[in-house]
Structures are given as C-alpha cells and as structure tokens.
Structure 1
Amino acid sequence: MIYSYPDYYKKFRCIADKCPDTCCSDWQIVIDDESLEKYRNYAGEYRQTLHRNIQWEEGVFGHNRKGKCAFLRDDGLCDMYKHMGKDSLCTTCREYPRHTEEFENIREISLSLSCPEVARILMQKTEPVTFVCEEDDEEEVFEDYDYFLFSNLEDIREEILKITQNREESLKARIRKVLQIGASAQRHYEEGDLIDWDECEDTDKVCVKDEYELFRKHMRFLSEELELLYQDWDDVLVESEVLLFDQGESGFTENKKRFLSWWGNSSLPSLEIVLEQIVVYFISIYLLGAVYDGNILGKIDSAVGHVTVIFLLLLARWIKCSEKLEMADLIELVYRYSREIEHSDENLDRVEELDWFIRI
C-alpha cells in the first residue's frame, strides 16, 4: 500500500479556540456507526448530556440556537472532549480536515482547504508543493478496477502538475496548456486510445473570444447552478457580482488592471503563486477520481474554473475594501469557497458537468 500526502501535511495543527471560523458551527456532523454505538452504550456521568444532544434517528449531533454544535462551548472548545477525552470523538471530528482518496493499493491523503488553518498554510506557501510517498506491506484488490486507466491518469496528472508549477511561463500560458491536455485526454479516452493522451490537436485549445463574458459566466455558475450551503454566502456572491460588473466591461477591465498592479506591489505572496497552489490542490485531489467515472475533462476544467472564480472574488473584495486586501481576506475567501464546493456532493458533481470553457 502506497500512502501519499502534500509536503505541508504535517505542518497542520488544529488551532481549536483560536480558529476564526470553527468547523463546529453550522455543519451537520454525521456520526459514524461505531461512534454512535459507543455513545449509545456510554454509562458515565456525562451520559444524560451526551444523549440529549444527539439526534439519534438522523445519526448527527444536535445544534444549539446559534446554529453551532451542541457540544461547542463558549470558549470555542468541545465539551464532549473535556468530559470524555479525545477518544470520544467521532470519525469526522477526529479526522477533519484530513481527507483520503482510495484507489487500489493507494491512499492519497490531503488537507481540506475548507479549514481556515489549512488555507492559511497553503496561501502563505511560496515554494511549489511536492508530495511525499510512504508504503507498507498491506495489499488489496478492487473488483472491476481499471488499472490501465488509472496508470494513464497518473501520467496525465504528473504532466499537468509539472506544467502548472513551471514558473518560467506566465500562469495564463500554463493554464492554457493544462486545459488543452484535458480536452485531448478526454477525446482519446472516448476513442479508446488514452495511451496517446498527449497528442493534442488545435480543436483541444480553449477559445476565449470575450474574457469579460467568460468571467460573468463563471460567476453565474456560483449563484445559479450550485447548491447554497450558507445563506450569508449568497450575500457575498450578490455583492461581488455588483462590484465586478455594474460598471460594465470598461469599468471591470480598469478595476482588474489596477488590482493586478496593486497586488504586484503589495506584501501578499505573488498572485500567480497563490492561484498556482489552488490549481495544484484541486488537480491533485480530484483528477485520479476519473478512474471511477471517466470524466477527465470535467475534473480539469473545474479545477481551473475554481481558480478563475476565486480570482474574481478576490477582485471584488479588493474593490469593496477601497482597493486594499489583507492576507485574512485571501484566507477567508479561499476556505469559504472550498466549503461551498467541497462540502456538497451535489456541488462536487455539478462543477464537473458545467461548460466552463469552450474549445475551438
């Protein structure tokens, strides 16, 4: 069994009550069967409080009137943890923000950007992300597993990450190559000759005739095509669209120009590096999942689409803040966007079906 994880994985430590947006708020935390049975049989002094704050039929923790987990104390710490110890935590509470993708004899472990501390670590990282591999003697066999497809997907991902992290080229040029590979790989897969995935054609190139309309389309995807998880996120989207597009194309173009100039002279990490890290994050986690559904293009296009939208949200926040932006704004927008996308199976499926980019 091979285990891989990004090089910043072991830097993560939960900051508990110091977290600016606790994962114990608003979410419906599903309790795994083993923990649910343990809670049901718990006979300690804390039993009454424990049982009162679990919704047994749904198998989830209850919420208080503020919409937070019933076990979250006012000081930001977990009351169950205090009374029952760390072994009392269910799988979700124990493992988040760690996430594992499972393939035959491979486990790819990542940290979710939906966690503010993970977003902080990645957004402040300036060197290219690398991946650490370890292995043990365990073996397994998945039924009906297409190892040939998986092997080709590994090659495609390796090439895409290599291109994305080639800082000798502009990010726009790198992205265009990545999108072309996505279309080529999907075309060869459907023709039954994926081994030639890197034989690209002009028809695989993305055609952007109107960048302004492309940006507007991507913002509409967020408000019209996706499930809304947090009501206040809708306020962010509505406000952002007004700030970005109410002045028309000329106003948008001028704001974008000033924004790029401002960022280049700010103390924030390079914008190209920030966006590169986000592309690498989404590609590294989701592309190999095409071994189960064959949707190579959807996974690559959506990864780039996420970066486009995050760029627009940053631009809108910069306009709102009188042409200023702090690291806290960058971190907040990244982790909140991730929550809306990655905490919804419906949204994860939908973003891979959307027509993000048009080919020639």
Structure 2
Amino acid sequence: MTLRYPDYFCDFVCTGSGCRDNCCKMGWDIEIDDDTLGYYREHGGELCERLCENIYEEDGAHYMSQEGGCPFLSAEGLCSVQQEMGAEHISEICREHPRFYEWFGDYKEAGLGLCCEEVSRIVMTHERPVLFTEKQTDEAPDDLEFDMDIFTAVRNIRDRLIDIAQDRGFTILQRLALICWCTEDINEALLDEDAERLKKISGMLAIDGFRMEIAIQAENEALTQAEDKPALLMRLFSVFERMEYMNSFGDRFALTRADAEKMLGAEKGFNKEYADLQYELENILVYFLYRYFIKCTRDFSAEERLYSAVYMTLAVRGIFLREYAENGALPDKESRIELVKDFSKEVEYDADNTDMIFEDIQQYDDVRDMLCGLCF
C-alpha cells in the first residue's frame, strides 16, 4: 500500500486531559467496531461488562451512549478503557480520531480533521506551503471498485488545484477566484468521464501564464458585472446562518445589510493587517481540497466539492473580517485557532450542514459569479 499524507500529519499528538474541547466530553454517540465489540463480549470482567451495558445497536451498527460525555472518562480526563486494557482495545474511531483516511486499491490517503483543537493549531501555525509525503506500508489493498483512469485524472487535477491554492504570487482571494473559474470545465469533463480532457485541464492549470490570464479575466468580469457586494456577502452568510448548531456559533452569520456594509468598509484595513497571515486561509483551502476532492473519483461531484471548499474558506475569512470590523483589530491567534476548530466541528463535521452548502450550489446557476464577486 502507498500511503500519502500532509507533512504535518506526524506532528499530531492528542493533548488528552489538556484539551479545552475534549472530544470525549461532546456527548456524541461513538460507533464501536465489530472487532472491539467482540473483544469486550469475549474478554469478560467488570469493565467489559460495563462497556457492553452502555452499547446499543441501531441499523446494524453498534454505538456507545455518551450523553453528557463518555462514561469511561476518568476524573483526570483520560480514557479508563485505554488505561486498563491498552489503546488496541478502544474503538477504532476513538483510536484514530481526528485522523481520516481514503482508500483506492493499493493507494491510501491520510489526514487530520480540523475539528480538533490541536489539529487546528497545527494547521493555523504552518507557515510554509504544505507538502505531501508518500511511503509504503504493509496494509492489504482495498477492494472497493473505482475507475483507475478517472482516479488518476482527479488526483492530478487536485494536485494542480492545491498548487494554485499555495501560489503566493496571488492573494488568497485571487486563488479562490481561480479555482471557481475552472470548476465548471472540470465538472463537465468529470461528468462525461473524460479522463483525457481532465488531463488537458490539469496541464493548462500548471502554466503560470494561464493562471494569470484566468485571474485577470475573472476580476474583469466580476468588476464589469458590478454586483451588489453587500447582498453577495449576505447571501453567503445566509447559507451558514440557516444551519443547525450545538451552541451559539451560528450567530456569527446573522447579517443585516448594515453589518455587511460595515464589514466591507473595513475590508481594506483587514486585507492590509492580514496580508502576512494569508497562509492560514491557504492551509484551510488546501485542507478542504485535499480531503474532499478525491471523493469525486466515485461520486463525480466536482462542482459541489470545489465550490464548497470556497464557500467554507470565505466563511472563515468572513468571521475574521467581522471581528475586525466590530472590534477594530484582528482576533488574536488563539481566537482564530478556536474559531476554525469550532467552524469545522459545527459545519464540516455535520453532514446535514454540509448538505445545505451542496443544495445551495445545486440550486443556483450563478454560484461562480457570486463567489468571484466576493473575491474582487
């Protein structure tokens, strides 16, 4: 198996009881894999009996009920199951979270989810462009079907998109517009299952001059159309305002026209103060492209996955901009890290909420124009 992962992947170490937003205290019901459940049932003993009593079955899967937090969390905020039986006997999701994986035959990708406080810190403090490493492992190949030509084309296109996301010759907004501008062509080629066309698009996107040409064209068209930018910002924020949240995080997206105008009036000062910190949004964009675009190999949803990466990157930027407009200063580093973690936890890790972004993208024909209008 070939394993690919970002260069910061091995930097992650769970902070355990030192975490301010411990995932074991969320109250989420945690899926228990069959091997772990089998061990609990066969091993016996007081702890295993208590574990089995807290596990229930739903739709053929098994979950541990954790209302108010995991019942097996010690007073020190550590896992008593791991302490007593070892990490190999906690459920797979507990052992692996916040890591994520994607399999394609003898190729596997790994990454770290932004919903974790420590991952958010790692990503938001990574000042260099993200590099990706590959190594060989002893893992057996996966047997899920996929088209190798499409997979290769999708992976190559994604590499070019990540190159664009990390092209610091452009501002982060220009890079977002570049991705929007090529999304329709990529989507059409993928829906036609035209691997050769995808290969040609990938080749064009590797050319610096072509990128500059697209950036100029996107800006000229956005400025020519002269859309009502406060209305565009309100439209973007409204998608996130309608979502369901576990706490008051959604209030950040409740936007009146006066709020939008205030934010846009402060944008010039924000851009100047945030100029040396653009790598934060760059890393967030790279994260969404790396994690989700590869899924197009099987679901062919290039348009939804590319535009949603832009939606979410612009939403995070919008939260920062609103704080700047309201307070006259950027939120500090720790606050930005926490905002990104909360955004990921509340939006990215809630399937119903991400579906709302997909539905908005599918509903309108002018998504590219709306997003590019916000970038210029």
TM-score by length of 1: 0.86
Counterpart secondary structure, 1:101: strand
Q: Specify the alignment match of 1:283 in structure 2.
A: 289
For residue 215 of structure 1, the aligned residue among 233, 245, 269 is: 233
The sequence identity of aligned pairs, in percent, is: 28
CA RMSD across the alignment: 2.8
User: Of 224, 243, 262, which aligns to 1:251?
Assistant: 262
Structure 1: where are the runs of 5+ without partners?
Answer: 265-269
- 2:250 corresponds to which residue? 237
Match of 2:268, as an amino acid?
K
Equivalence for 2:307: 301
1:318-329 correspondence to structure 2 within 5 Å: 318-319=324-325, 323-329=329-335
Q: Secondary structure at the match of 1:50?
A: helix
CA offset digits 1:74-114 (Å, max 9, x no partner): 32112222333323211011111111011122100001111
In 2 relative to 1, CA 249–285 (structure 1 residues): closer, same or farther, beyond 3 Å? closer
Paired letter, 1:4: R
The answer to whether the 8 Å contact 1:5/1:132 transfers is: yes
1: CA distance between counterparts of 2:120 and 2:296?
A: 25
- Map of 1:169 onto structure 2: 170
Deviations 1:289-326 (A, max 9, x none): 10111111111111111100111122334456563512
Tell me the distance in 1 between the aligned counterparts of 2:196 and 2:48. 58
Query: Whose helix fraction is larger, Structure 1's or Structure 2's?
Result: 2
Q: Structure 1: how far apart are the matches of 2:183 and 2:73?
A: 44
* Aligned equivalents of 1:60, 1:321: Cα separation in 2: 44
State the alpha-carbon separation in 2 of the partners of residues 21 and 172 from structure 1: 31
Q: More deviation in 95-104 or 335-344?
A: 335-344
SS of residue in 1 equivalent to 2:83? helix
Residues 26 and 68, structure 1, Cα contact 8 Å, conserved in 2: yes
SS at match of 2:4: strand
Q: Is residue 245–residue 252 contact of structure 1 (8 Å, CA) maintained in 2?
A: no
Greater shift after overlay, 274-283 or 214-223? Answer: 214-223
> SS of the residue aligned with 2:317?
helix
2:322 is aligned with 1:316: yes
Alignment check: 8 A CA contact 2:3 2:107 kept: yes
1:29-66 CA-partner distances (Å, limit 9, x unpaired): 111111112222332243454344334567222235xx
Match of 1:71 in 2: 72
Q: How far off its partner does 1:137 sit?
A: 6.9
What residue ranges of structure 2 are gaps of 5+ in the alignment? 206-212, 370-376
2:184 alignment partner in structure 1: 183
Equivalence for 1:336: 342
Offset at 1:359? Answer: 3.9
Mapped pair 1:358 → 2:357? no
Instruction: Mark the CA change 1:297 to 1:241 in structure 2 (over 3 Å): closer, same or farther.
Output: closer
Contact 1:54 1:61 in 2 (8 A): yes
Q: TM-score, normalised by structure 2?
A: 0.82
